[in-house]
Amino acid sequence: MTDDNPHSSNGSSGKSWAAKLLQVFTGEPKSREELVDLIQDAEERDLIDNDTKEMIEGVLDVAELKVRDIMIPRSQMVTIDKSQSVEAFLPILIDSQHSRFPVVSENKDHVEGILLAKDLLAFGFGMTEEPFALERVMRPAVIVPEGKRVDVLLKEFRSERYHMAIVVDEYGGVSGLVTIEDILEEIVGEIEDETDHNEDEKADIRKINKSRYAVKALTTIEDFNDYFDTQYEDEEYDTIGGLVAHGFGHLPQPGEEVTLGGLVFKVTNADKRRIQQLQVTLPDEQTESSE
């Protein structure tokens, strides 16, 4: 008797990666370490791809994080003073390109509310005849403690339909802010939008001036060597980002620098799991020979 189902001869071909992954978990892992090992094994057996593996690991990581681990620190908060006029704070909105802004009085410890940039559209396009008043358009600020679990906050973001929370320390002082995007980036990696990079930045290697270059971390070491006439080994690492991370000996933060083979590598963009973008500075002698 023949089977008309084209997938019956290979039942696994019609299964989703999640179904395949469940097959791997028949051993019922007893700890997080065992679960991570099973996920790694699933990738090695081509049941899931690397992106899926990293996403699952991101979910596991989020379950162990506190808000203080991912928040934007107080010093980096872009705020609007309640007493400012539209003309005064509009350049701040344009320059930062954010969509939400804490509104403060006196200082950052006194957050009065949250301004959504889109709420200004009605006034900018004459959709209302009412005079602009910041108090009428700003939304209530949600306050969360530093020690709040990130996975719990994500559930609240989704159920309560808000996207930003102000983080306070044990004394009630503002220590930073956190957004739903910050949490999602812990799971799926860096989220870029159309304002993050211009057309020139699409190239893996882009010249800034005669001695400095912007280099994507995923640039292969082979391509990097071809471009800069260097001799970095590619046996252990495929990408320049992997080589540089090894040179640091830890996952570096933006702003950190390391010198490898005479070139200075500065991290300009990185998330919690990998380097995204580098700035490479050539030594003086190499700069002169390339001119």
What pLDDT is attached to residue 19? 58
Q: Which CATH number fits domain 201-290: 2.40.128.50, 3.90.1150.10, 3.40.1030.10, 3.30.465.10?
A: 3.30.465.10
Q: What are phi and psi of 141, to 5 degrees?
A: -90, 135
CB 142 within 8 A of CB 134: no
A 10 A CB-CB count for 260 gives 16
- Cα–Cα distance measured from residue 190 to residue 266, given in angstroms and rounded to the nearest whole number: 18
Residue type, 261: G
CATH class (in words) of the domain with range 69-188 = alpha beta
What pLDDT is attached to residue 54? 78
A 10 A CB-CB count for 120 gives 17
Handedness of CA 150, 152, 155, 159 (dihedral sign): negative
CB 235 within 8 A of CB 177: no
What pLDDT is attached to residue 201? 44
Question: Where along the chain do its domains lie?
Answer: 26-63, 69-188, 201-290
- Cα–Cα distance measured from residue 142 to residue 114, given in angstroms and rounded to the nearest whole number: 9
- Longest distance between any two alpha carbons in the chain, whole Å: 82
Selection from 137, 85, 82, 91 nearest residue 112 by Cα: 82
What pLDDT is attached to residue 24? 52
CB 115 within 8 A of CB 100: yes
Selection from 184, 155, 181, 193 nearest residue 58 by Cα: 184
What's this model's pTM, rounded to 2 decimal places? 0.55
pLDDT tens for the chain, 291 residues long, are 444 444 444 444 445 555 555 555 555 667 777 777 888 888 788 888 877 877 887 788 888 889 988 888 888 888 999 988 888 888 888 877 888 999 999 889 999 999 998 888 767 655 556 677 788 889 999 999 999 999 999 999 999 999 999 999 999 999 999 999 888 888 877 665 555 544 444 478 988 777 888 899 999 999 999 999 999 988 888 899 999 999 999 888 888 999 999 999 999 888 777 898 999 999 865 544 444
